[in-house]
Amino acid sequence: MPVKTIESGTVADAYIDLLADRGVDFLFANAGTDFAPLIEALAKFEGQGRKMPRPVIVPHENVAIHMALGHYLQSGKPQLVMVHVNVGTANAMCGLMNAWRGNLPVLFTSGRTPYSEEGGVLGARTGEIHWPQEMRDQGAMVREIVKWDYEIPNATVLEQSVDRALALTMSEPKGPVYLTLPREVLAGPVENFTYTSPSRRLPSTPPFPDLNAIDRAAELIAKAENPVIVSASVGRDWDEPAKLAALADVFAIPVTQRKPRYVALDSEHPMHLGYEPDALLADADLVIVIECDVPWIPNKKAPGKETRIVHLGVDPMFTSYPMRAFATDIAITGAAGPSMAALTAALETRVAGARDRIDARRKRIAERRATQRERWAAALEKAKHETPINPLWVTYCLDQVRGEDDIIIKESPIAYEQLTLKKPGTMFFTGAAGALGWGLGMALGMKAAAPEKRVICTVGDGAYMFGNPIPAHYVSQAEKWPILTMVFNNAMWGAVKRNTHEVYPSGYAAKSNREPLTYFDYEMSFEKAVEVAGGHGEKVSDPAKVPQALERALKVIDVEKRQSLLNIICKGP
């Protein structure tokens, strides 16, 4: 096999060379005292014109890790994040949680506090902080939410460590891995360091479904009167929507998504029945759950006791969840794409025997879909002149000006039903663990991966503050990655208010109409924040002015190549 050799240098040199060879494009980093050998290596590579991951300064770790995740969702390649020992790791924990629950790969790394006190080795302790920062087991901080963690001890296992990290993060179910790199190890010398290129340690192939189980599921579908597909994460891989469309169409199975994370099905497809599974569960005699961790809320609306349930996904039992006990008649382990294709093929052999049932169902779905769309249009008509501005109206206005390839990040109350979602990879709701503040970083990472595309980041006011906006705006300006940020400013934690009312519908909080710990009592001028990084900011409080404000903001991005932010004073729940 072909090999490459570094005749002399440091472990840090070998590490950077190896990462570049393995196709890592970016190093999103917030540096500390542990970075010294790495910074020296990057400066050497830059001075010598050698290929290396592009280093990007990100002034907060939460932004950095979400940038790496966003880049993956556009490029399909995991990226490198490096943070400062335990404190940097702690700041990135929310991003790790979102990556873990969302099955998103990232090579997450940190330095490790130098362990040598007396000197005599390059990289030993040189500052007071090197004593109080050391932990007995730094990896324990993240062990529950990563697929693998390891501390690189020396150059001997460097190639194996990097390759194992990249292979594991990209093997299904995908997820983050954590490497720690002691300063003394990175600073250590290497002579005639050789490694295989390309790597011979590749990710495992995605799981293929048991065809006997597929056949049993097809038989249930063929006999069902009212089957329904419920999904959340179909569409992470961009070939999946076409396969879901074929599956839904062959047997006229309506598709509904619960808090969809991606574009799973063209919203104009005749089997697309919106984003409220509960409305279909009451009549369903078969529910096909595809890559969805929470297909229904049991104490709100669940399928009938006689309804058959099929779960399908790379881990259909969601084994990393401490408790998840949804009814399961068949659980099929397999990647969504090939599993849906296999199920479609099995159903095609059964079409002739169910033609009348399929045709009748197709007609019912068309009628139900038409009624649903009429209801959506009526809600929009009611909302368009409301003040404070209704998010339905903002969503509609956004949909009118966005291009088909524009990317929308949804960490806000924008309404799915007012968006025309056709192309895979153009809508993302990826805070899978509920760790707010992911939107800005994701948007910047996607812009880095696809600079030719417009990226529109929609966030609530709380999510905007969680997202470390000043660091994010800095990165946008410094790296020339202009995005549009739309802040839906309702001066409250909407989810907190809703859930308090659900638990105590007639309680003191509901009667007060001003629930404690829910409202922001001071109106924030978020439009000013982007100006510190040279961006365009604008406050919008009149619903009639939303279209023009959007046009101005997008013009700044397209023509002036500067980031824009709209602070939209909007209605809460």
Q: What is the pLDDT of residues 103-130, one digit of tens each?
A: 999 999 999 999 888 878 999 999 999 9
**CATH H-level, domain 3-196: superfamily:** Thiamin diphosphate (ThDP)-binding fold, Pyr/PP domains (3.40.50.970)
Pairing of strands 176-182, 286-290: unpaired
| pTM, rounded to two decimals | 0.97
Return the domain boundaries, the chain.
Answer: 3-196, 211-369, 384-569
User: What's the pLDDT at 189?
Assistant: 96
With a CB cutoff of 8 Å and minimum separation 6, the contacts of 133 are: 85, 86, 87, 113
> Hey, is 522 helix, strand or coil?
coil
User: What's the pLDDT at 493?
Assistant: 79
Pairing of strands 189-196, 3-10: antiparallel
> Hey, is 573 helix, strand or coil?
coil
Beta bridge partners of 331: 311
- Kindly indicate the confidence band of residue 514, based on its pLDDT and cuts at 50, 70 and 90: confident
Q: What is the DSSP letter of 272?
A: B
- Tell me the per-residue pLDDT of 63-72, one tens digit each, with 9 for 90 and over: 999 999 999 9
Closest-CA residue to 43 (of 16, 5, 81): 16
Do the domains at 3-196 and 211-369 have one common CATH topology?
Answer: yes
The token pair at 505 is: 């519908």
DSSP letters of 348-396?
Answer: HTTTGGGHHHHHHHHHHHHHHHHHHHHHHHHHHHHHTT-SSBPHHHHHH
User: What's the pLDDT at 555?
Assistant: 98
- Tell me the per-residue pLDDT of 448-463, one tens digit each, with 9 for 90 and over: 999 999 999 999 999 9
- Tell me the per-residue pLDDT of 126-162, one tens digit each, with 9 for 90 and over: 999 999 999 999 999 999 999 999 999 999 999 999 9
User: What's the pLDDT at 395?
Assistant: 98
- Tell me the per-residue pLDDT of 377-417, one tens digit each, with 9 for 90 and over: 999 999 999 999 999 999 999 999 999 999 999 999 999 99
Contact 255, 273 (CB under 8 A): yes
pLDDT surpasses 90 at 495: no
User: What's the pLDDT at 26?
Assistant: 98
- Kindly indicate the confidence band of residue 564, based on its pLDDT and cuts at 50, 70 and 90: very high
pLDDT surpasses 80 at 1: no
Contact 52, 14 (CB under 8 A): no
Contact 69, 445 (CB under 8 A): yes
Contact 122, 182 (CB under 8 A): no
Q: Within 13 Å and on the Cβ side, how many CA atoms surround 439?
A: 32
The CA distance from 350 to 225, in Å, is: 14
Beta bridge partners of 106: 176
Q: What is the DSSP letter of 570?
A: B
- Tell me the per-residue pLDDT of 263-318, one tens digit each, with 9 for 90 and over: 999 999 999 999 999 989 999 999 999 999 999 999 999 999 999 999 999 999 99
pLDDT average, residue stretch 356-371? 97
The values of phi and psi at residue 216, to 5°, are: -65, -40
Identify residue 419 by its one-letter amino acid code.
L
Instruction: Calculate the average pLDDT of the chain.
Output: 96
pLDDT average, residue stretch 228-248? 98
**Helix and strand tally (H, E) in the chain?**
20, 19
The token pair at 160 is: 């194996």
First to last CA, the chain: 61
- Kindly indicate the confidence band of residue 204, based on its pLDDT and cuts at 50, 70 and 90: very high
pLDDT surpasses 80 at 31: yes
The CA distance from 35 to 109, in Å, is: 11
pLDDT surpasses 90 at 560: yes
Question: What CATH code is assigned to 384-569?
Answer: 3.40.50.970
pLDDT average, residue stretch 197-207? 97
Closest-CA residue to 259 (of 397, 431, 378): 431
Structural class in CATH, domain 211-369: alpha beta
Beta bridge partners of 288: 229, 310
Rg (alpha carbons) of the chain, rounded to whole number: 25
Query: Between the CA of residue 521 and those of 469, 486, 497, 527, 569, what are the distances in Å?
Result: 20, 21, 15, 18, 14
